Structure 1
Amino acid sequence: MTTVSLTDVAGYLPGEPVPAEFYTEYPGADDALRDSPMFRIPPLRHHVAADESNVDMVERAVAPLIERHGPDEIRSVDVLLMHSQLPDTPFVGAGTEVARRLGLKPRWLIDVANAGCASFVHMLELARQILTTTDARTALICTAQSAAGQLFTQSEVRRLAQAAIPGDGCGVGYVTTSERSPVLDLVARHIVSHGGDMKAVLDDGRKYWEPGESQLRIGFTETSTAEVLDRGNRLVPEVVTDLCRRLGVATDEIDLLVTNQPNRTFLRNWRKDLRLPPHRHPDTFDSCGNLFGAAIPITLDHALRSGRVKDGDLVVLGGFAHAGDYAGAAAIRWSTDRTTPSAGRPA
């Protein structure tokens, strides 16, 4: 069977860090969720600029990959997978413009709408499937999050507890048929019984495309928040434990667990359930907020650049999406050499 590797990752954070005071000094609403563990405010996060698109962020995130592997290597990717958590344009995904901007001519180009905060794991699975069942040899997977500086800074939404948690950024991965950092196994669950539980709402009841004055927000209630907390606390340890069982290792043998970064409660509970010390579960929440789908690659990139990953480490990526409609985990035997070109297309 063809070996598929997550050969490299890179990330981009826009602008200067935005302090919590951007929200806490703003006249607040009487929000019953303000004391929920889901919405305990991180000190910092980043916001996209008013004229900064998802494609702009992808271009900036991919730049380190081009520097390490060369422009020809990246431009020749066979597969491009793109996830945008706040699409810039209705109807049209960002993937085609990303390809145009980067000079790519992929045979496979897919805009992935589902899997939310765990979309990087989902796209890694898709890339692995394509690279093992076709003659494709390389893939670029991109996830961009721009809702923090656009949706959550609206004048009325900014008053809500939910607004201060997200941050913006973009994470990308370079996937190849090589032995560089092999994907050992992957577990994914689409939990359709939770589909539709995460809702965007407008207080005047209109559809989001209809004209009006109310501002789009996430429809959190006390009940739905409690359900998400319960599901999230269970789902990530479940898929990571399942993955480790398939590999024949204990969860405390994971050298580095990289998850999405929703809030401190999830991060603490996941570490406890999987019996991992904090230094083996990198945390970017306090400096970046909840980066949604971009959190896993950005957090992994931070861990790599800070020297927290050793050659041969067992790295596990894991997360869940939305109100629990997807959960996934992937295991990688990491190589710290991120500069060796992939095997490329066979002659």
Structure 2
Amino acid sequence: MQTVSLVDIASYLPENRVPTEYFTQYARSDRMAKNIMFRAPKNRHHVAEGETAVDMAERAMAPLIERNGADEVLGVDILITHTQLPDLPVIGCGADLAKRMGMSPSWIIDLHNSGCASFVYMMKLAQTLLQTTTARTALIVAVQNSAGQIFTQTDVRKLAQATVPGDGAGVGLLRKSDEAPILGTVARHYPEFAGDMTGEVDPQRKYWEAGTGQLRISFNEQKITKVFARGNRLVPEVAFAVLDEIGVKSKEIDTFVTNQPNRLFLRNWRDALELTDEKYPNTFDECGNLFGAGIPVTLDLQNQAGKVPNGSLVLMSAFAHAGDFAAAAAVRWGAAPKA
């Protein structure tokens, strides 16, 4: 099959940079705050009031267009989007983004599952479509916009979990070529864990029903224990599966990028692959947990800092939700900033 390359990547972080002190003024005595899963990052970025998923995607795309030209980016054949919090129920931002940007792709796909691993899953899906159709280029878009909306609600912002998420968006441009080849991908579903992540409203009601109370993600000690056990296993598991597929050892990785849930996961994943901090960048203390945007934002910031030279072996790996999905991909990097 024809080689598909990840030829460029770009990202956007909202201007509103929020320190942890914003939350401490509202915090109540909560034993969950002592759990390392909810140890707060120093900062995170929140969407502005009225800022939509399409706004964020457009701003993330701007550097991509500047570097590659409007015709190449806006003329893609495939557009795949993942929006953490759709601005309208059911509908993702794909068609709206195409309308805003004057795009007319043959494929528009709003990917609603795969959460924190969505960027890798979109890469795999785009690669498959490019290799099996006449399409030549694809744009993948991951938008995380729930931090400044769900987690700043007056009741939710008091909880330990509210301090962890941040908002941001990341985009990737793929093309049939061998300039920055995707070397291998692995995507694994674990349906037995589906439904372990739940939302909750107090007093109880369905999230779409009228009533009082504010939607939040439901956590308890048992759920946290399960998520830690699964995450610690799944991210290295799919990462090693890709390495086995392409026939390299972890010591040959130049840059390893994962989703960014908390410091404990980041430490454990680094240790599992026996990597140095220099090979395993993280943005947790500046951006918090960016969910599906974590990989592209972290990789873009590392790349723009000149730390991912062309020819580098880049490995991405992530797990989603309470462990119902995990994915990894290896790329021979070819998008270093031009001097």
Normalising by structure 2, we get a TM-score of 0.98
2:210 — aligned with what?
Answer: 211
The reply to whether residue 35 of structure 1 matches residue 20 of structure 2 is: no
Q: How does 1:276-315 map to 2 (within 5 A)?
A: 276-315=275-314
Percent identical residues = 54
1:16 — aligned with what?
Answer: 16
SS in 2 for 1:233: helix
The reply to whether residue 258 of structure 1 matches residue 257 of structure 2 is: yes
Residue type at the aligned position of 1:193: E
The reply to whether residue 25 of structure 1 matches residue 44 of structure 2 is: no
Aligned 8 A contact 2:197 2:321 in 1:
yes
Residue type at the aligned position of 2:163: A
Q: How much has 1:338 moved relative to structure 2? A: 6.1
Aligned 8 A contact 1:32 1:222 in 2:
no
Q: How much has 1:92 moved relative to structure 2? A: 2.0
User: 2 CA distance for matches of 1:279 and 1:250?
Assistant: 17
Q: How much has 1:31 moved relative to structure 2? A: 2.2
SS in 2 for 1:29: coil
Q: How much has 1:29 moved relative to structure 2? A: 2.7
Runs of 4+ in 1 over 2 A off after TM superposition: 28-32, 336-339
SS in 1 for 2:16: coil
Q: How does 1:138-177 map to 2 (within 5 A)?
A: 138-177=137-176
1:343 — aligned with what?
Answer: none
SS in 1 for 2:31: coil
Q: How much has 1:332 moved relative to structure 2? A: 0.3
The size of the alignment, in residue pairs, is 338
The reply to whether residue 332 of structure 1 matches residue 331 of structure 2 is: yes
Aligned 8 A contact 2:304 2:337 in 1:
no
Residue type at the aligned position of 1:83: H
Q: How does 1:244-255 map to 2 (within 5 A)?
A: 244-255=243-254
SS in 2 for 1:272: helix
Residue type at the aligned position of 1:209: W
Superposed CA RMSD: 1.0
Unmatched 5+ residue regions in structure 2? none
User: 1 CA distance for matches of 2:136 and 2:71?
Assistant: 14
1:120 — aligned with what?
Answer: 119
Unmatched 5+ residue regions in structure 1? 340-347
1:49 — aligned with what?
Answer: 48
2:69 — aligned with what?
Answer: 70
Residue type at the aligned position of 2:21: E
Residue type at the aligned position of 2:119: F
User: 2 CA distance for matches of 1:220 and 1:156?
Assistant: 15
Residue type at the aligned position of 1:162: Q
Moved more, 83-92 or 116-125: 83-92
User: 2 CA distance for matches of 1:127 and 1:23?
Assistant: 39
SS in 1 for 2:323: coil
Aligned 8 A contact 2:306 2:336 in 1:
no
Aligned 8 A contact 2:120 2:316 in 1:
yes
Cα distance, 1:76–1:322 mapped onto 2, change above 3 Å: same
Q: How does 1:68-107 map to 2 (within 5 A)?
A: 68-107=67-106
Q: How much has 1:76 moved relative to structure 2? A: 1.0
Q: How much has 1:219 moved relative to structure 2? A: 0.5
Residue type at the aligned position of 2:120: V
SS in 2 for 1:162: helix
Cα distance, 1:97–1:336 mapped onto 2, change above 3 Å: closer
User: 2 CA distance for matches of 1:10 and 1:293?
Assistant: 14
User: 2 CA distance for matches of 1:52 and 1:7?
Assistant: 28
User: 2 CA distance for matches of 1:69 and 1:103?
Assistant: 17
Q: How much has 1:337 moved relative to structure 2? A: 4.8
Moved more, 185-194 or 246-255: 246-255
SS in 2 for 1:170: strand
User: 2 CA distance for matches of 1:91 and 1:319?
Assistant: 24
User: 2 CA distance for matches of 1:337 and 1:102?
Assistant: 26
Partner deviation per Cα, 1:171-213 (whole Å, 9 max, x = no partner): 0000100112100000110111111111111121100111111
Q: How much has 1:91 moved relative to structure 2? A: 2.8
Residue type at the aligned position of 1:285: F
Partner deviation per Cα, 1:25-58 (whole Å, 9 max, x = no partner): 22x2332311111100000000001110000000
Residue type at the aligned position of 2:8: D
User: 1 CA distance for matches of 2:164 and 2:254?
Assistant: 28
